Structure 1
């Protein structure tokens, strides 16, 4: 694709990156076939190829309109198009660059601005998010149906093991997950403890930065990333003890972002080297557990007797390009685990998307739930807190993180 960037972005770091991405696109349209919003709306501008053209026009200095912003807002950034693209177009990065420019040039309606401000300032702060969840549960009958869908019942995390082991790994607590599903990290800690690994959480680490960054507050998102680098560095560098061997992510949405710290902070001389090291150490939980596959198979064999449907999050299968590891691990442990039809498509959660684009999100959830239930499974597992919560609000089947299934099996008779 030929480009002629406008002076405001030409020869800048973001401009050079955008230009390289745009020039990689060959207009083939393969991406359109796998785009969830194009499937729903049938509009070229609501598919990756159309949005690439819109971003190209914006970066070349064309007038930016509310219509342009609407089409970009409707994108889930599921990155399914990246998995499909034969030319390796990094659509997710291009979308972030284009949205930032559009956000600076289009004034949103007041209520929309307020909503987005509250989401990006409240959700990343665990000290604010967790009490808000408790209050929401208390006044649940007074809330709208959409808000009720976002409030899972209170859950007990259980015990966090404190035994010392020679092997140590870090885990990101995050921002939303501790209040919504505190048992996920605790279950991971118990499973790894049983396998001879101590899982630690750095007290000063928080939101991975994805929430604010992808809502066009990119400076705020980068600040969140720097805070996590600072919180993790003593554990990574081995200050006061042996360095950790990995930074484990139990939410794939966080994992895909932390793996990009090295790229996103490459321009910051104070953080570039540290951020690159953090990204190198970051592993999704499903990348860590296969090393223990034989031991898990020995301990879990035959304990899970019901069929389980696995929903692979977009941030895992498209963002991190990790496929087959969760299913392979569970099958090796004797679990009858299946994928549903169109398992490559987004469930509609996509971070704050379900709150900002509720109708499209609901349609995608209905499709996903119908396909999951059609497998005949008695329970659903996934690997990202947003997917878990979103899918659970559309089905009576229990939905939980796959590590909780493993934890329960190991604890059982």
Structure 2
């Protein structure tokens, strides 16, 4: 398609967008009396309008049934989390039995590393990407120390080449091969939070298995954003937060994938709690743990129902639309945003450099953009004009036009505001 940087063209794309009505299902903050242009769905998704009714249902059941809501609510609380497994399985490419929802992201990654980071002898090293999201860095270092190893020796970071913004696949595979039998675990973010680069998870997982390592993925920026086939890729485990592209609310519950190969294995290292024990016998209060036959065996405590309610509300939309349709719009709206940036770049003295890979196979919703010659002043201007974006030092903005609620007109209007901010500064 040949794009045009005009309001009429953007509005025409919106008219042709099969997902356009879903924009009306979300609540937009307002700045200066106008709905914001929201580019931070990669940090916190907007609130679905149906979320409040899902939460209100729980509050009503709590008021009217109290403890009996566990079994007699319309959606009984004791198995409430199970309702999320099937729609989530479609999003991450798994069997419903391989998916559970519990805790929060870093907590779950720690719990999963109990099962999948088992250093022994010379096999003790973890491969991760350099400058991973800080929480992952802290988690991995603390796990290594917990097992008595020096992070400087046990952690191997995948490196970008000097002067480059992306990890090269051949360098990743070479590092995996070089670490070889010393590698106990590969744990990488499926989408790099800073650049938006999507890793080839299928190939990397296979390479990790070839050297005898477990392979897990932090899918915080991937779930609900890119196509995932965790089961078919034979991934060992994965976890993701729900509050970014899946719009479940701030700090909300995390999803987990545990490959069915590990289900029903009673002697696997695992921290255990009563919600992971056999459902039929749970309330018999037996002294011995009998694991659920699926990913729920990794559950610890009864689920936070008030937190799961808005997650379930958002998953209703994903189930209606499906990832292929979301990805189709994602590809087009991101391409249009990139085109608008290029057109504005021709009209101002600044230089924009998109550091997210150009190929659709290596990027999702996010574009990370170097604003050469610009500083925090431009970001502050955008925010005051109702453009909610994300600033990363030294001069990068991350733009994530979530396909459920961002419009093509948003992309055009953003371009005009961006141009005005630069020209105003240069007067």
TM > 0.5:
no
* Structure richer in helix, relative to its length: 1
TM-score normalised by length of structure 2: 0.26
Which has the larger share of strand?
A: 2
TM-score, with normalisation over the residues of structure 1? 0.27
